[in-house]
Structure 1
Amino acid sequence: MIEITNTRSKKDEQEKVTKKGKLASVKRGGKTFSSHLSKIIDLEFQGSIEELLEDLKDQEKRFLDQQTGHELDRYKALLHTIIKSILAEGLREKTLKRKKKNWGDFVVIEKINAKLLEITGAITRQNKAFNLLKTIEEIRGLILDLIY
């Protein structure tokens, strides 16, 4: 038979009773839960945007190598994913500061959509690859304008 003994001293038990409602392991500081959470979300958001931009760079290379409708659709889908993630995070913070600032984002998105239509036209007309590359670089610049 195994005998279980109490390893806590009487002093430890008294401290536990006197600190009712307060946890010793939790630090009480100036940081709130929401500020800590927003910092973590910002880090994850920046990581995901950077990953999406890397994916965009890879997709651009594939698209320039194989100028097909399928690669164009994949490129468009990736661009829309990037734009949605930028706006989902950006609108949440920017509307708290200034509502009129968001109108610039919509103008940039309209420009990106116009450039996508140019790319679609370039593929259907079998235009020069240089014009295609130039348009892709303009889209990348507009996305960077949205981010920074």
Structure 2
Amino acid sequence: MTPALLVATLGGVGRLRPGPGTWGSALILPAAWLGPLACLVLAMVFAVAGWWAAREVLDDETEDPGWFVADEAAGMALTLAALPAATLPGVLLAFALFRLLDIAKPWPVSWADRQPGAFGVMLDDVIAGALAAIALLAFHALLPGVIA
């Protein structure tokens, strides 16, 4: 397996069935215990590495294939960066919010999903992660102490 495919599939996790995107997102959950700053850095690393991998393994006409899960890693890590502290309820809520937004694709996630090439493959999940992070921050502001 080439380095780009290793990144694209998160070491093969993207080949798991059913729901490779769910498996790719779940793989990132332990990063929450590294803290918000580490999750933010991981999100940036996954975004850049995923964009590179998408350019290497996909052509500009390819839609986001299910086995490509580096984008889920970037979005999930960005979501986790919004948790003030890692708790099981908080991490589970972050996971559920990100997956809901990634699957339902409300605007602007749906817009990003229609963009061509590596840009579109990565951007929809990064936007879903940002929206989930905003929702977590709002939840924490309204109900402090519930998720952290």
TM-score class, shorter-chain normalisation, is 0.3 to 0.5
Q: Which has the higher contact order (CA 8 A, sep 6+)?
A: 2
Select the structure of larger CA radius of gyration: 1
How high is the TM-score relative to the length of structure 2? Answer: 0.37
Select the structure that is richer in helix.
1
